[in-house]
Amino acid sequence: MNILRLIIGRALGAMLTLLLVSIVIFAAVELLPGDVASRILGRNATEVNLAVLRLKLNLDAPGWERYLLWLGGIVQGDFGVALTSGRRISDILADKVFNTLVLAGVAFLLYLPFAIVPALIQAIRRDRPIDHGMSIVTLLLLSTPDFLLASLLMIAFVVFIPVLPAVSTVTDATTVEGWARALVLPAVTLAVVMAVYAVRMLRDNLIEVLDSDYIRMAELKGMSARRVLLRHALPNALIPSLNITALNLSYLIGGVVIVERVFSYPGFGNLLIDAVQVLDVPLIEVTVMIAAAVYILANLMADIGAILLNPRLRSG
């Protein structure tokens, strides 16, 4: 019951945070200088066009009323209509979100070995040349922005070794092979950017766990080094790294915006940039709200995972 109360408390806190974020998102758009309709239609808009758009956006209603209508629509799954295309936002989001989820899923699957394997090697070979060399590589990658890393990978595998496409375009007619080729460069970029943040922490956690008394006791009992490392040391070292993993999951939403743009991948990030460029207010509000929801959900999952894996948190 104590675990259930902790999880419910974390979930309620996440819902409250998301509610506050929704208020901030809506207010941020409202507080922008000038009239919303004028910003959208531009300086050459006629009074008739402005009046029609104001009526369409309910701009004559009080702000709190429009916020409640907007939030109520989101809760019910009605995201409204995009101003630029006239299509329902839910229809626009369907393909884009699916594409981004595929990219994020592949990137996260790559992230796990990219983070765990180097950390294991460094922890086992601590203070040796391979440890120092991998630390230098990690620091270099930490200092490399994601757009620069994406560009370097593109130059390497599109220009010098032309084996992958420069534009990661996918459609309904794209084959499995086409999907794989389109996902390689953006997925590897995201996975590397996420992994470098986790490798250093996981290495230090592993070294600390390997030096603990219960690990030495397991070794004295005759357990193989591989079993001690993978069954006892690694699970305990992963617990403090859950927060980094949660941040990496939330980074996927922000990171895909840049990476998708570099590789012209038709996903959620590209949709958000396009919405900002054309000042499609309903689409901007919904996309930013989804990004915030994913960030909060990732942190909630990390908190729940830490509670389930760490007995001290359950009893605290």
CB distance 104 to 190 below 8 Å: yes
Report the mean per-residue pLDDT for the chain: 82
Confirm if 34 and 54 have CB atoms less than 8 A apart: no
For residue range 8-58, list pLDDT tens digits in order.
888 898 899 999 999 998 888 777 666 666 666 766 777 777 777 777 777
Sketch out the chain's domains with CATH numbers.
Answer: 2-75 (no CATH), 96-277 (1.10.3720.10)
Rounded average pLDDT over 245-257: 73
Q: Confirm whether pTM is higher than 0.85.
A: no
User: Which is higher by pLDDT, 34 or 69?
Assistant: 69
Residues in the chain: 316
**Residue 308 C-alpha from the chain's centroid:** 23
**pLDDT score recorded for residue 179:** 92
Read off the pLDDT of each residue in 279-290 and give the average, rounded to a whole number.
85
Cβ atoms of 153 and 191 within 8 Å: the answer is no
Is residue 88 within 8 A of residue 97, CB to CB? The reply is: no
pLDDT per position as a tens digit, 70-118:
888 888 888 888 877 778 888 888 888 889 889 988 998 999 899 889 9
